[in-house]
Amino acid sequence: MKPRRVVLIGGGAGTGKTTVARALSRSLTAGWLQVDTIWLALIDAAEPGSDRRRVLDVDHALRHGTTPAEGLLGQHMDAAAIVCHALPRALAFELQTHGTVVADGAWILPEWSAQLELGGVDVRPIFLHEPDAGHLRAAMASRRSMPMAAPWHDRSARLAWLFGDAVTREASRLGLPVVESRPYETLVDRVVAAVG
């Protein structure tokens, strides 16, 4: 019987997590879980106006507020903790169908992933990092349907960089693999080498 495995790909938005997860899931014939789907479901399930909904809905705070990105980092971390709390059950469900599951998202926290136990499943976390905030902003701008002119776009890119920087520093402290996003052309190969 083949060993069951979960590959967790974390880091800030715009670092190539989804591109890597898509490629890995194809090459490993694995299931693929985009953690954003869990995050969105949790927002919708939270009572409108509740503290839980406010914490989870980081995008609403970015689009409709004026708080600088530095002031939203704690909210993003708190939202990530809520998402991580829900992830083991979703991963266990996916493992019923797939021997290997690749999960990616800007909600995966290093300490949580280092402690994750799924009953004999080999868990391999890795975190992608873009050290240059300007490159990250450009990567995020290339994915948007509208230009990065609105103030919330700048805050969104800044928050993505702050979150990514914080989680990759924590991942390094815990001895978890951290891979720089660039050069993008070799990113998938470098991730494969890092997770074995």
In this structure, what CATH number is given to the domain that contains residue 149? 3.40.50.300
Domain count, the chain: 1
Range of the domain at 143: 5-195
Is the model's pLDDT at 147 over the cut of 80? no
- Name, in order, each residue with C-beta under 8 angstroms of 137's C-beta and a sequence gap of 6 or more: 14, 148, 154, 157, 158, 161
In the prediction, which pLDDT does 142 show?
A: 76
Q: What percent of the chain clears pLDDT 70, i.e. is strictly above it? A: 95
User: What is the chain's mean pLDDT, rounded?
Assistant: 93
